[in-house]
Amino acid sequence: MKRKTKAAVKKIAGIVFCGLVYLFLFLPIAVIVTNSFNATTAKPYLTWRGFTFDWYVKLFDNNTLLTSFGVTIAIAIISTLLATAIGTLAAVGMYKYKFRGKGLIDGLLYIPVVIPEIVLGISLLTLFSNTHIPRGMLTLIFAHTTFSTPYVIFNVRARLAGYDQSIEEASMDLGANRIATFKNITLPVLAPGISGGALLAFTLSIDDVIVSYFTNGQVKTFPLKVMESIKSGVAPDVNALSTLILIGTILLVILTKSDLIKKIKALVKR
């Protein structure tokens, strides 16, 4: 029984250790969710004054907060679409063709990934100020697309690593031109890589603080709104919105991961 006891002890130690790590990861979330039910109305909203759902109602009266959330989502969607489009095209192009300057593009791609975000932020600020592009929604979209695109490209490339080019040749052999082949063959095969990259781009965009902080002008995204409120204490309605966002994303992932969506689609088709 010696070996079995040893293995059991190891297993329990492992579970306890992982449990502690997850506790570490989720502790602040527990704080956020708890504080969203705090009945306190006095800044900095830290003392527990009883349980209430009020903040979830009041949240919908707080127009600046709701606007910031809308802005965040809009920027995330637009920049994700842009990054996915140009990133996918580039990944495929760079995989298929050899051309001069490819190494240079590669080098440029790694910069937004490895460089500290603050450097990207201030360099874009410098650019926009020197070229007199007014800072706002547009510059935020430019900035977010810039840091997202490399991630899309890397994800698509990872998918391309196992890609058999002869299926494209087969498509063209059967009479499809380049565009039809790209649409009917290349895109569907690469879909998992593309959607993975897009998801990452979206996540990076909605969570971005630093780059937005330097490129926003008067526009306040949700993270920037939070940043502003930190000095006076984060209000429970911000916690409430964060809780709702978290629940929303978890539901979205469960939906996309499970077969539920497929089943609904199948039902609709009937």
Partner 1 sequence: MADEKKVIVEIKNVNKLYGDNHVVKDFNLDVYEGEFLTLLGSSGCGKTTTLRMIAGFEEPTSGSISVEGEDIHNKEPYERDVNTVFQSYALFPHMTIYDNVAYGLKMKKVKKPEIKERVTEMLDLVQLGGFERRYPSQLSGGQKQRVAIARALINKPKVLLLDEPLGALDLKLRKQMQLELKRLQKKLNITFIYVTHDQEEALTMSDRICIMNEGVLQQVGTPFDIYETPATKFVATFIGETNIFDGHVLLAENGRLHIAVEPGDFVVNGTDFISGDMLSVSVRPERMLYSETPVEGFNLSGTVKDQIYVGSVLKTVVVLSNGNEVKIERLAGQELPKGGRVYLYWNDGDAKLIHTFDNVFASAVENIVME
Partner 2 sequence: MAFSKHNFRSNTLPAMTMAGPVTLWLAFFVAVPLIYVFIMSFCSIDEAYNVVFKFTTANYQRLFDPNYVQIYGTSLIVAFLTTAVCIIIGYPFSFLIARTTSKYKALLYMLIIIPFWTNSLIRIYGWRTFLGTNGWLNTILTTLHITSGPVQFLFNRGATVLGMVYCLFPFMVLPLYTAIEKLDKSLLEASSDLGAKGPSTFMRVILPLTMSGIFSGSIMVFIPSLGYFFVADILGGGNSDVIGNLIERQFQSGNNWPLGAALSIILILITLLLVKLYQKAGGDMESLGV
Subset of residues 1 to 20 that bind partner 1, contact rule: CB under 8 A: 1-4
C-alpha–C-alpha distance, residues 146 and 113, integer Å = 10
Phi, psi of 161 (to 5 degrees): -55, -30
Contact window for partner 2 (CB under 8 A) among 50-58, 73-81, 104-112, 258-266: 104-112
C-alpha–C-alpha distance, residues 119 and 215, integer Å = 12
Task: By CB under 8 A, name the one of 1, 4, 5, 99 that touches partner 2.
Answer: 99
- Residue 51 pairs with which residues in a beta bridge? 38
- Residue 38 pairs with which residues in a beta bridge? 51
Residue 269 as a binder of partner 1 (CB under 8 A): the answer is no
Residue 185 as a binder of partner 2 (CB under 8 A): the answer is no
CB of 235 to partner 2, least distance (A): 11
Query: By C-beta, is 6 or 183 nearer to partner 1?
Result: 6
* Number of residues counted as binding partner 1 (CB under 8 A): 4
Number of other residues whose CB lies within 10 A of the CB of residue 179: 8
% helix, strand, coil for the chain, step of 5: 80, 0, 20
Instruction: Give yes or no for a contact between 93 and 102, defined as CB atoms under 8 angstroms apart.
Output: no
Output the CA–CA distances (angstroms, integers) from residue 199 to 162, 193, 203, in the order listed: 21, 10, 6
CB of 14 to partner 1, least distance (A): 18
C-alpha–C-alpha distance, residues 191 and 203, integer Å = 18
CB of 76 to partner 2, least distance (A): 12
Query: By C-beta, is 2 or 257 nearer to partner 1?
Result: 2
CB of 11 to partner 1, least distance (A): 14
Query: By C-beta, is 2 or 98 nearer to partner 1?
Result: 2
* Number of residues counted as binding partner 2 (CB under 8 A): 86
Residue from 197, 163, 148 nearest 92 by CA: 163
CB of 269 to partner 2, least distance (A): 28
Residues 202-241 touching partner 2, rule: CB under 8 A, are: 203, 206-207, 209-210, 213-214, 222-223, 226-227, 230, 234, 238-239
Residue 27 as a binder of partner 2 (CB under 8 A): the answer is yes
Q: Which residues bind partner 1 (CB under 8 A)?
A: 1-4
